[in-house]
Structure 1
Amino acid sequence: MRIQRRGILHLGMAALAAPAIIPAAARAQGDWPRQPIRLICPFAAGGPTDVAARLVAEGLSGMLPERVVVENRTGSGVVVGTEVVAKGPKDGSTFLYSTVAHSVLRALFSNLSFDPVRDFQPVALLGVIPMLLQVNNAVPARSLQELIAMFRERPGRYDYGSSGAGGAVHLATELFLHQAGNLKVNHVPYRGSAPAMPDLLNGNLTMFLNVASDGVESVRRGATRGLAISSARRMPQLPDIPTFSEAGLPGYEAYTWHMLLAPAGVPEEIVRKLNAAANAVIRDPRTQQRFSEMTIEPRADSTPETAAGWLKAEMDKWEPLVRAIGMTPA
């Protein structure tokens, strides 16, 4: 479930070059960790999830006695990297940095060698990223309701793009179409968000309900038109774009999100220590500034219990939709 963004690599390099967020004097003490920590990121290096993972890892390295090193393990969506953690050591040396992709694994894959719930312990929800509904400038609809009316009038006539079948963009769009009355709009999957944008700009795509970080600049410069944002409140980066609820589709919310997970069996004391360190990193103003640049809404008060509750709610939300529409992995 990869979501790529052209131009975000420089943020990743900045994260790598940045000094530790927390001063060395504030480093956590204790028996854990006694060796460098592997943070498995099941997404490609240089993409937005990898950038955020490296930013968090740099901050954690300033909080803990040992460094936290990001290791990219991609393949079969997020299955390969997730399996590494599920079957990895239970000593607190290996953790998973994942997204909404984790919540649909059971629905997308029938032959997993691990269970996304039973074999993991959520540690902390780090932040959420809303989705931005964009249309090309030739589309006559000037509001969400006008777009819905257009789709209803000519079912199957229009196309929407996604960053890949079974990905966050695909999920969010199908949820929108379902909640708006089972609208019929053709799905055109791409290998990431970046390849889809030219087709939106030149009119080959009608709509793109994209990760907000990938769409803000095109809306700001007037290259596309933003109609709605999928969060509960408006984005400070695009204050004139209404939420879906404000635009006439109450109850619609969709995010991709960033979460730390431990393999099941890691001692609770270690999970609690990592949770406290992660929250401290997210509270740091420099992390919050960089998250804002990536349109990530930080969550600095997560507990293992609230993270587990979030994951369960997301699975309850997405799994029935995946199965109902017969969604398959990219």
Structure 2
Amino acid sequence: MPALLRRHLLAVLACAPLALSPLPASAQDGAPVRLLVGYSAGGPVDQGARLFGQALAKELNTAVIVENKPGANATLAGSEVVRAKPDGLTLWFAASPTITISPNVMAKMPFDPARDLTPVAPILSYYNVLVVNNGEPYKNVQELVAHAKAHPGKLAYGSAGVGGSNHLGALLLARRSGIELNHIPYKGNAPAMTDVIGGQLNMMLDIISTASSYIHAGKVRAIAVTSPRRNPSLPDVPTVAESGIDGLKDFDVGGWYGLYGPRELPPEQVARLNRAANAALAQPELKKRLQDLGYELWTGSPQQLAERAARERTLWSTVTQGIVVN
């Protein structure tokens, strides 16, 4: 073999391992993005994640795969994101209770949301609606409070579990209005709603997006929404604050969904994902779909997400004293 050809062949072979070595994947090279959800498929968080994920995929020009990781107050999903490589390919579609309530009530929280995660973008705000069995005599919050005071400890409300937002929202309402209600925890909102419809429970708070169908079908009666303003999807339902009851005049209790990544997610990745999230929420089709479900779109910066999480974590710390979830 001529010397020149031999030297050329050796040079090619020396470079071959480099050519065959896989380059690290990132959120900028078209690799699919995993969007983790801490709840089962079919629930309100999963519903929001799938709608948002479809729109986000268009902005990132790559697949966004929603993965359900239910369990442990949604901390299983959060823990997987905490352990993930900070490459922008593993994100968490987190519901606010896991960020703001769980650290106050879980006996052993597997991670600290404020320390171990990177806020990427706010996504949605949501509020609850107070619904009662159709056979209950009270038609508004004033009548409910009067009835509860006349029958202390006799009214029961359901929730998706101890320490959840609808548990603590109802607890806060009871405390501020000076009434006593019995809490019956369930393993999800759906079975609790079934018992409100059937009369085994007097009432419950449920997310507007999932409660609306029961309300419009006449299966339960809506008394009030927990937002500071009436919700466009339930325009005839007053706010809790409209009751005029001392302690409830500034009642504003809701939740939100936010996008989080691993702790050391590079700033350039955070900025890119934030832009994509805000652009996704601006898509007319997604915007209308979410608003029809009773959600409020919440676009903004990672800092706005972090600040709201910190404020609400402090708020719930005062409400959850004595409540422990194992």
Normalising to structure 1: TM-score of the pair?
0.85
Distance change in 2, residues 1:327/1:67 (3 Å): same
Instruction: Work out the CA distance in 2 between the residues paired with 1:163 and 1:156.
Output: 20
Match for residue 236 of structure 1?
A: 232
Residues 27 and 87 of structure 2 are in contact (CA less than 8 Å); yes or no, is this contact kept in structure 1?
Answer: no
Distance change in 2, residues 1:73/1:280 (3 Å): same
Moved over 6 A (4+): none
Match for residue 138 of structure 2?
A: 141
Shift of 1:99: 0.6
Question: Bigger shift: 271-280 or 110-119?
Answer: 110-119
Tell me if 1:53 matches 2:49.
Answer: yes
Tell me if 1:162 matches 2:162.
Answer: no
Contiguous gaps of at least 5 residues in structure 2: 1-25
Match for residue 36 of structure 2?
A: 40
Work out the number of aligned pairs and report it: 296
Matched-pair identity in %: 34
Distance change in 2, residues 1:146/1:204 (3 Å): same
Shift of 1:105: 2.2
Residues 193 and 214 of structure 1 are in contact (CA less than 8 Å); yes or no, is this contact kept in structure 2?
Answer: no
Q: How does 1:260-299 map to 2 (within 5 A)?
A: 260-299=259-298
Match for residue 92 of structure 2?
A: 96
Deviations 1:181-236 (A, max 9, x none): 2x211111122222122321232211111111222233223332211101111011
Instruction: Work out the CA distance in 2 between the residues paired with 1:177 and 1:274.
Output: 40
Match for residue 83 of structure 1?
A: 79
Distance change in 2, residues 1:234/1:138 (3 Å): same
Contiguous gaps of at least 5 residues in structure 1: 1-30
Tell me if 1:62 matches 2:58.
Answer: yes
Residues 123 and 271 of structure 1 are in contact (CA less than 8 Å); yes or no, is this contact kept in structure 2?
Answer: yes
Between Structure 1 and Structure 2, which shows a larger proportion of helix residues?
A: 2
Match of 2:196 among 188, 196, 200: 200
Distance change in 2, residues 1:222/1:70 (3 Å): closer
Instruction: Work out the CA distance in 2 between the residues paired with 1:202 and 1:69.
Output: 37
| Cα root mean square deviation, aligned | 1.7
Instruction: Work out the CA distance in 2 between the residues paired with 1:319 and 1:230.
Output: 19
Residues 131 and 223 of structure 2 are in contact (CA less than 8 Å); yes or no, is this contact kept in structure 1?
Answer: yes
Deviations 1:118-166 (A, max 9, x none): 0112111111111001111222112201111111222111111112222
Instruction: Work out the CA distance in 1 between the residues paired with 2:262 and 2:107.
Output: 21
Deviations 1:12-56 (A, max 9, x none): xxxxxxxxxxxxxxxxxxx74232222111111222211211221
Instruction: Work out the CA distance in 2 between the residues paired with 1:75 and 1:198.
Output: 22
AA aligned to 1:164 is: G
Match for residue 315 of structure 1?
A: 313
Max radius of gyration: which structure? 2
Shift of 1:306: 0.8
Q: Secondary structure at the match of 1:117?
A: helix
